[in-house]
Amino acid sequence: MDGIWQRLGIRFTEPYRDPLWGTILFPTEFLDILSSPEFVKLSRILQLGPTHLVYPGATHTRRAHSIGVFSMAARVLKAVAPFAGDQVTPEGARAFLAAALCHDVGHFPYAHSLKELPLEEHEALTARALTGPMAAALEKAGADPAQAAAIVDVKSPAVGTGTALYRSLLSGVLDPDKLDYLNRDAWACGVPYGVQDTEYMLRHIVLDEEGRPGVDDRGVMAVESVLFSKYQMYRAVYWHKGVRAPTAMVKKAVIEALRNGAVDSADLYGLDDSGFYALMSGPGRDPERLVRSVFDGRIFPSCYEAPYDETVPAQRKAAHLVTRTAVEKELAAAVSARTGAPCRLVVDLPEPLSFETSMNVAGTGKKFSESATVFRPEVVRGFSHSLRVLRVFCDADPGAAAPAVAEILSGRG
């Protein structure tokens, strides 16, 4: 048994076979967490939602991802523990591993796509589950539920020894979540963009002079790889127009259901994919049958696509949920006037995407952005800007709809 795990009294003995990482070993006392209803529910939520409509292999689940995050978390903790001194305790390490394994238990379908809505954040929902129905399973695993919850939900008060360190490990530039999802999503979609040299990264993760996760000077390349991979995965997979269309359709249906009171925000929490579709199939909850269309694979084609330009008033209105509905109605009326038939239409604009670069290069006195890297702040901002594409999807003939939509969104209307 490795020295760090021997010191912490953690034995990894229970094998789970994973198609990405091979055999992942768990401590026996973690098995109750793995078999809890809250964790098993993740096997009924697709990790990438409707992405399988574009990439048929993208049918992996949040449960598979969470198991992968546990494996990555154990490896990251092993890499930094020699630099951490007494911050890493037996109970704290178990709380960190439990937090990594359970970081998504508060997730509900399309949660990331609904971040603009006044919904409770999934991290807070996760924390509530860890200190509530899952508390006994965590205690059996030797983890303090309150500390595990505090590690996941950074807005809550810190609890226990080393929580600040564990938080920075679980959510940062080279965090276990990112190391798994970039690799796993690329593998499932059959694309090369997200694949990382994980072993190399783990060899060069350290704690910097301030006790925060960083890299040595040879690890700068690992950070560059993650940043560019994230950009490519968003461009080719996560924000592919064939994924944005069904996502926007579902999002509009949920917004309207919440506005008209047909659905309460609390109704969404704790759902799996089938529960979500059942909820949205209820009377008055999806009058335009947008969710049903997505469920049946009848996705609206694109009739407009252009880089977002905030200097155009109509585009600024489309960027905000409060005013987007009015823009959609104006566009739909213009399309119907041109085609002579009613149409269903949705506007889509991704939120600004952040690329985490806040990491020091240990031993150099420099931040990553100040090191010998091409990823200067202006380059990273360029990544984010290039990904913000305003699109309009509708069920009318795109050739007929496009001129009417372009006239309004270009500022000519």
Domain final position from 185, 207, 238? 238
Q: What CATH number corresponds to the domain at position 62?
A: 1.10.3210.10
Q: What is the mean pLDDT of residues 256-267?
A: 94
Radius of gyration of the chain (CA): 23
Residue 373 lies in a domain: no
212 and 270 together in one domain: no
Number of CB atoms found within 10 A of residue 2's CB: 12
Q: What is the mean pLDDT of residues 130-159?
A: 97
Q: What share of the chain has pLDDT > 70, as a percent?
A: 99
On the CB side of 256, CA atoms within 13 Å amount to 20
Residue 394 lies in a domain: yes
pLDDT (tens digit, 9 = 90+) per residue, 283-302? 999 999 999 999 999 999 99
Per-residue pLDDT at 412: 63
Residue 411 backbone zone (phi > 0: left; psi -120 to 50: alpha; other: beta): left
230 and 95 together in one domain: yes
Which tokens go with 49? 């939602």
Residue 364 lies in a domain: no
Q: Is the pLDDT of residue 356 over 90?
A: no
212 and 99 together in one domain: yes
Q: Is the pLDDT of residue 118 over 90?
A: no
Q: Is the pLDDT of residue 1 over 70?
A: no
On the CB side of 163, CA atoms within 13 Å amount to 19
30 and 14 together in one domain: yes
Helix or strand run (H / E) with residue 215: strand 213-215
227 and 295 together in one domain: no
pTM (two decimals): 0.94
Per-residue pLDDT at 411: 75
Residue 362 lies in a domain: no
pLDDT class of 157 with cuts at 50, 70, 90: very high
Relative orientation angle of helices 220-233 and 377-387, to the nearest 10 degrees: 20
In contact, 330 and 317? CB cutoff 8 Å:
no
Per-residue pLDDT at 374: 73
Residue 68 lies in a domain: yes
Check residues 42 and 363 and name the one with the higher pLDDT: 42
In contact, 159 and 142? CB cutoff 8 Å:
no
Range from 82-96, 169-183, 216-230 carrying the lowest mean pLDDT: 216-230
155 and 261 together in one domain: no
Per-residue pLDDT at 381: 84
129 and 213 together in one domain: yes
Could you give the C-alpha distances from 89 to 142, 165, 401, in angstroms and in order?
A: 11, 12, 62
Closest CA to 193 of 204, 202, 205, 181: 181
Beta bridge partners of 61: 46
Place of tokens 């009739």: 303
pLDDT (tens digit, 9 = 90+) per residue, 178-216? 999 999 999 999 999 888 889 999 999 999 888 889 999
252 and 234 together in one domain: no
Residue 361 lies in a domain: no
Per-residue pLDDT at 413: 54
pLDDT (tens digit, 9 = 90+) per residue, 221-231? 888 898 899 99
47 and 165 together in one domain: yes
Beta-sheet pairing, 302-307 with 366-367: unpaired
Tell me how far apart the alpha carbons of residues 63 and 72 are, in angstroms, rounded to a whole number: 14
Overall domain count for the chain: 2
The range of the structural domain enclosing residue 207 comes to 3-238
Residue 378 lies in a domain: no
Q: Is the pLDDT of residue 336 over 80?
A: yes
Domain final position from 238, 262, 292? 238
pLDDT class of 72 with cuts at 50, 70, 90: very high
Place of tokens 């049903």: 292
Per-residue pLDDT at 212: 87
Domain final position from 238, 265, 300? 238
On the CB side of 213, CA atoms within 13 Å amount to 29
Q: Which residues contact 61 (CB under 8 A, 6 or more apart)?
A: 42, 43, 44, 45, 46, 47
Q: Is the pLDDT of residue 153 over 90?
A: yes
Residue 254 lies in a domain: yes
In contact, 144 and 93? CB cutoff 8 Å:
no
Show the CA angle centred on residue 361, arms to residues 68 and 199, nearest 5°: 30
146 and 175 together in one domain: yes
260 and 198 together in one domain: no
225 and 248 together in one domain: no
Average pLDDT, the chain: 94
